[in-house]
Amino acid sequence: MNKTARLLASLLTMWLGCGAQLTAGAQPRTNWTSSDTGCARYNDLRNRVLGDIGIKIDTSEPWAAGFRRAITFWNTVLVANFHEEADLGACAVRVIDGDRNVLQDGIVARAQIPEWADFRGKIAVRTAMANELSSTEIYGIAVHELGHLLGLKHNASPESVMYFLDVAGDEVLDIKDLVALSRHHKVRPSIFSAGYLSIQVFEPATPAVARRESESVFQN
Q: What are the residue boundaries of the structural domains of the chain, listed by start?
A: 30-202
pTM over 0.85: no
Tell me the backbone φ, ψ of residue 197, rounded to 5 degrees: -140, 115
Q: Assess whether pLDDT exceeds 60 at residue 219.
A: no
Average pLDDT rounded to a whole number, residues 49-66: 97
Q: Assess whether pLDDT exceeds 50 at residue 22.
A: no
Provide the pLDDT for residue 85: 98
Q: Assess whether pLDDT exceeds 80 at residue 60.
A: yes
Q: Which of 16-20, 56-60, 92-96, 173-177 has the lowest mean pLDDT?
A: 16-20
CATH for 30-202 is 3.40.390.10
Provide the pLDDT for residue 168: 85
Provide the pLDDT for residue 49: 96
Amino acid letter for position 34: S
Provide the pLDDT for residue 28: 59
Tell me the pLDDT band of 16, cut-offs 50, 70 and 90. Answer: low
Q: Assess whether pLDDT exceeds 60 at residue 9.
A: no
Mean pLDDT of the chain: 83
Task: Say what percent of the chain tops pLDDT 70.
Answer: 78
pLDDT tens digit string along 181-194?
Answer: 999 999 998 888 88
Q: Is the dihedral of CA 172, 175, 178, 184 positive or negative?
A: negative
